[in-house]
Amino acid sequence: MCTGKCAKFIGISLYPLSIISIVCNIIQFFPGWDTEYVKNPGEFMTPEVIYLGGIIGGGILVLVPAIHIQATGRQGCCNNRCGMFLSIIFAAIGVAGSLYGFAVSVVGMVKGPQCLYISLLQGTIWGRPFDSELKEFSENNYLFHRDLWSTCQLPKDVVEFNVILFSMVIASTGISLVLCTIQMLNGLFGCLCGTCRNKE
């Protein structure tokens, strides 16, 4: 495949992935589809939601490179060796953003959501019930024990909400990471060998 066509394919593919990350991160501010918790995010949200891994990492830092990467696949000012060289830099930004979004989402999913639950020592409290007891990703983690999910009383179905949205960000940033890495190699070949576009 021509390096220019490959860049165009990668650029177009990154658009929906970045949008998925942004939308999922925004939805995470409304656990249980309730707007009450977004009024005081520092108290009710997990740090991983506030770090905006989906909006900044998998979203903006992937969307901006996608625009240039796609442009290198079209005939015009960016479809040349210089454009391919710049696409390596933009793809590296995409890799960094994807890694950030991926890492934040993995930590957020492993530690679990913040919710209202009953503690044996403190009574009914707001916090992260799964983080205090099961800190590491192992077979004892709450992710592998669905019966523990009912520990969270409010927001309603917050554990499923948390797992699904973080999983979607992990998937989209993981694919973005692979595509941006491929574009770095593709950009290197395009920079050294040209874009192999037929000039009319």
* Residue 42: other Cβ atoms inside 10 A: 7
pLDDT at 122: 74
* Average pLDDT rounded to a whole number, residues 87-101: 92
* Average pLDDT rounded to a whole number, residues 165-176: 94
Residues 6+ apart with CB under 8 A from 147: none
Q: pLDDT, tens digit, for every residue of 42-84? A: 788 888 999 999 999 999 999 998 888 887 766 655 566 677 7
CB 134 within 8 A of CB 66: no
pLDDT at 150: 82
Q: Which CATH fold would you assign to the domain 3-114+157-193?
A: Four Helix Bundle (Hemerythrin (Met), subunit A) (1.20.120)
If one compares 22 and 117, the residue with the highest pLDDT of the two is 22
Task: Please give the single-letter amino acid code of residue 50.
Answer: I
* Residue 147: other Cβ atoms inside 10 A: 7
Report the C-alpha gap between 195 and 199 in whole angstroms. 11
32-46, 47-61, 83-97, 164-178: lowest mean pLDDT where? 32-46
pLDDT at 134: 44
CB 38 within 8 A of CB 30: yes
Helix (H) or strand (E) holding 164: helix 158-193
Q: pLDDT, tens digit, for every residue of 102-158? A: 999 999 888 888 888 887 777 788 888 887 554 555 667 778 878 778 888 888 888
Instruction: Name the β-bridge partners of 117.
Output: 125
* Average pLDDT rounded to a whole number, residues 170-183: 94
pLDDT over 90 percentage in the chain:
30
- Whether 189 has a pLDDT exceeding 80, the answer reads no
* Average pLDDT rounded to a whole number, residues 4-27: 89
